[in-house]
């Protein structure tokens, strides 16, 4: 079993994959500024119990843990690290830290099928499929954005190629809104998503830019499992849970990053 935890914003999300490569996922999700400390441990316990009949049996069956590691909410990421250290204390279970920006990019997929020959077949979310159906778009850009406040955003660009491979096209960094505007002005088509995406919607609405606003599906631990399946470049890091440190991209760290305005 694989347990995934996402707390980089005001959303608290847990997902459990009982059998590797299967689409039946047990999950919990709630949004609120105080929910991480109240709900994270109960959510993990509930998912493990539902999958195995008891919390103890679930821990014994646990094979791997994924944890969203930022950039994002200082409070949420710290709470997740502390909770995971307590859950895994004395257990040698592999842990991977997952880039939150890559998690957002992977949310464009509804699910991934793992064929018997090892080939992955990707399926887009309905809104993304509609965009692709409007023309023979061989590839399109995805820009993951997290509001870093003060006119800045945590950003990374990605691209879906025509063989359904998702890969980064820029470095993850903290950038100003003006810099993003200059970079995007002549580079449609593109999809913007994440907690900072709607800030750019009015000015780019007629420039081949689509803002995907379904925040609940984006900030969801289910997407960490997709990153793992895709083995996305520069997005997964094997870590020791005792030494986990949230990944930040600037000195002004965001606390309690809201996913809705």
Q: What is the predicted pLDDT for the residue at 137?
A: 46
185 by Cβ neighbours in 10 Å (0-12 / 13-18 / 19+) ranks as: exposed
Report the alpha-carbon distance of residue 231 to residue 40 in Å, rounded: 26
What stretches in the chain show pLDDT beneath 50? 136-137
Kindly state the percentage of the chain with pLDDT values over 90: 56
Report the alpha-carbon distance of residue 173 to residue 152 in Å, rounded: 10
1 by Cβ neighbours in 10 Å (0-12 / 13-18 / 19+) ranks as: buried
Domains of the chain by range and CATH? 2-100+218-243 (3.30.420.40), 103-214 (3.30.420.40)
Report the alpha-carbon distance of residue 141 to residue 137 in Å, rounded: 11
Report the alpha-carbon distance of residue 152 to residue 148 in Å, rounded: 5
Q: What is the predicted pLDDT for the residue at 209?
A: 81
Q: What is the pLDDT of residues 62-90, one digit of tens each?
A: 999 999 999 988 888 889 999 999 999 88
Q: What is the predicted pLDDT for the residue at 205?
A: 65
Q: What is the predicted pLDDT for the residue at 117?
A: 66
> Helix, strand, or coil here: 220?
coil
How do 236-239 and 95-98 pair as beta strands? antiparallel
Sign, CA dihedral 258-211-141-22, equals positive
Q: What is the predicted pLDDT for the residue at 159?
A: 87
Q: What is the predicted pLDDT for the residue at 100?
A: 96
């Amino acid at each position: 079993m694989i347990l995934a935890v996402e707390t980089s914003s005001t959303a608290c999300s847990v997902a459990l994959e009982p059998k590797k490569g299967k689409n039946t996922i047990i999950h919990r999700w709630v949004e609120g500024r105080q929910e991480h400390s109240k709900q994270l441990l109960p959510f993990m316990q509930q998912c493990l119990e539902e999958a195995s009949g008891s919390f103890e049996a679930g821990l014994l069956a646990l094979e791997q843990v994924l944890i969203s590691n930022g950039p994002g909410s200082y409070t949420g990421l710290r709470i997740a690290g502390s909770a995971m250290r307590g859950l895994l204390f004395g257990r040698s279970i592999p842990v991977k830290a997952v880039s939150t920006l890559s998690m957002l990019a992977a949310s464009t997929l509804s699910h991934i099928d793992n064929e018997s020959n090892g080939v992955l077949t990707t399926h887009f979310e309905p809104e993304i499929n509609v965009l692709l159906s409007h023309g023979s778009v061989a590839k399109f850009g995805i820009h993951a954005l997290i509001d870093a406040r003060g006119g800045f955003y945590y950003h990374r660009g990605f691209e879906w190629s025509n063989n359904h491979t998702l890969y980064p096209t820029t470095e993850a960094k903290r950038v100003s809104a003006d810099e993003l505007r200059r970079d995007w002005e002549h580079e449609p088509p593109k999809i913007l998503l994440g907690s900072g995406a709607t800030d750019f919607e009015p000015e780019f609405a007629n420039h081949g830019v689509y803002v995907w606003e379904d925040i609940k599906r984006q900030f969801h631990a289910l997407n960490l499992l997709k990153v793992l399946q895709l083995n996305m470049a520069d997005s997964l890091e094997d870590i020791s849970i005792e030494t986990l440190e949230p990944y930040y991209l600037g000195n002004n760290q965001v606390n309690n990053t809201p996913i809705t305005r």
